[in-house]
Amino acid sequence: GKKNVQESEQEAAAPSRTQRGGQKNVQAAKEVPKEDPELSDDEAGAGKKRGRKAKEDQASKKNGAEPEEKKSKQEEETIDYGCDKENKKGEKWNLKISTWNVAGLRAWVKKNGIDYVKEEDADIICFQETKCPENKVPAEAKVDGYHTYWVNGVKDGYAGVALYTKEKPLNVSYGINNKEHDEEGRVITAEYEKFYLVTTYVPNSGQGLKTLSKRMSWDEIFRNYLKELDAKKPVILCGDLNVAHEEIDLANPKTNTKSAGFTKEERENMTALLKEGFVDSFRQLYPGKTGCYTFWSYLGAARSRNTGWRLDYFVVSERLMDSVCDVAIRSKVLGSDHCPCTLFLHV
């Protein structure tokens, strides 16, 4: 087996499908509006983010407000985890895939994040930034009915991706065949009968764009990797791509042109990927829809103001787009500074 790669399988019966169209109550956070957000830095920013959040929570308590992740019972939103929409061929969905950057699996479990897995009841669920090798995964994160696959980096508590899937894939591989990038544990590829599923946590370009050159290297290698897969079978790419592609994809484009995630170089590389026969499925379905974000800084109560970024995507091969019924952004689901996204399609 490969170093730093773990795989486990749980053979129990799949959970009931009755939840698929049902409605679940989740509580939205009550916050006090403040400043604009900043994109958290993958490496150095993790500790600072926690420090900022602690200060923010302390300040909020003084003002009599609840911290962001402490769910206020005064505000409650209802989420429909089903989908009534049909694809362009007039078909209802028969495959549901979800993706979520959990910003640390162990912390996410403590915030009852696993409840979402049961409520969404997706056929495939992908997690990014798990920061947790399989031998340290809490027992609560194990869900009956899913085969689970994990990859983590050489550096403990950094990056990491996981795949939960009800149907056992034909094959599972890790990385993008590049030693430098694969040491960080950023990609799992699962081959199914009709498609490849690739889930990834793309490198952040860092505070002050200190790792932008590394990101440029990643983008080219990863694009070529996806093209090779696409030549064999259609591809469904999901995860935290760490780029807001167009101005519509973040709340404050004018002030973030030098920020990681919205540089000219990163945006051009996303365009280059789409020109290779891939489609940003959400934006294809909702070309002019504003305010659709998947990440909000913990700074300044950005989430309650919806001052965010759309960094999490389902990018599909062009020939799969007509099979897509819908893409849902679960902005009311808490537990991380990102929210989950769900793809419904018929394959």
Residues noted as catalytic: 201, 240, 338
pLDDT above 90 (res 307): yes
Closest CA to 190 of 7, 2, 321: 7
Every domain of the chain and the residues it spans: 5-9+22-345
H runs (alpha helix) in the chain? 45-62, 105-110, 114-120, 179-182, 212-230, 264-274, 281-285, 302-305
Q: b/e per residue, 164-188, with b = 16+ CB within 10 A?
A: bbbeebeebbbbbeeeebbebbbbb
114 residue type, one letter: I
Higher pLDDT, 216 or 13: 216
Mean pLDDT estimate for the chain: 85
Do the Cβ atoms of 260 and 41 come closer than 8 Å? Answer: yes
Higher pLDDT, 76 or 183: 183
Do the Cβ atoms of 189 and 159 come closer than 8 Å? Answer: no
Which residue numbers belong to the known binding site? 101, 129, 240, 242, 337-338
Give the pLDDT score at 263.
98
Strand partners, 79: 24
Do the Cβ atoms of 41 and 207 come closer than 8 Å? Answer: yes
Which residue numbers belong to the known binding site for Mg(2+)? 101, 129, 240, 242, 337-338
- Across 31-45, 79-93, 243-257, 312-326, least confident range: 31-45
pLDDT above 70 (res 41): no
Give the pLDDT score at 164.
98
Q: What pTM, to 2 d.p., does this model score?
A: 0.81
Closest CA to 134 of 40, 238, 49, 10: 10
pLDDT above 60 (res 54): no
- Across 165-169, 264-268, 296-300, least confident range: 296-300
- Mapped onto helix, strand or coil, the DSSP state of residue 49 is helix
User: What mean pLDDT is predicted for residues 236-255?
Assistant: 99
Q: What is the largest CA-CA distance in the chain?
A: 58
Give the pLDDT score at 183.
92
Cα–Cα distance for residue pair 55/51, rounded to 1 Å: 6
- Residue 273 makes CB contacts below 8 A (sequence gap 6+) with 219, 223, 226, 315
Do the Cβ atoms of 343 and 108 come closer than 8 Å? Answer: no
Confidence class for position 77, pLDDT limits 50, 70, 90:
low
Closest CA to 282 of 272, 271, 294, 273: 294
Distances, alpha carbon 270 to alpha carbons 21, 222, 223, 244, 319, in Å: 34, 11, 9, 9, 19
Whole-number percent of the chain with pLDDT over 70: 78
Confidence class for position 170, pLDDT limits 50, 70, 90:
very high
State CA 59 to chain mean position distance.
29
For residue 275, with 0-12 CB atoms within 10 Å meaning exposed, 13-18 middle and 19 or more buried, which class applies? Answer: exposed
Give the pLDDT score at 275.
99
Cα–Cα distance for residue pair 119/230, rounded to 1 Å: 32
Do the Cβ atoms of 119 and 16 come closer than 8 Å? Answer: no
Q: What is the pLDDT of residues 127-150, one digit of tens each?
A: 999 999 889 999 999 999 999 999
**Backbone phi and psi for residue 20, each to the nearest 5 degrees, phi listed first:** -55, -45
Q: For domain 5-9+22-345, give its CATH number from 3.60.10.10, 3.30.70.260, 1.10.10.10, 3.40.50.620.
A: 3.60.10.10
Tell the residue number behind the tokens 């679940």, with chain if given.
24
Helix (H) or strand (E) holding 27: strand 23-27
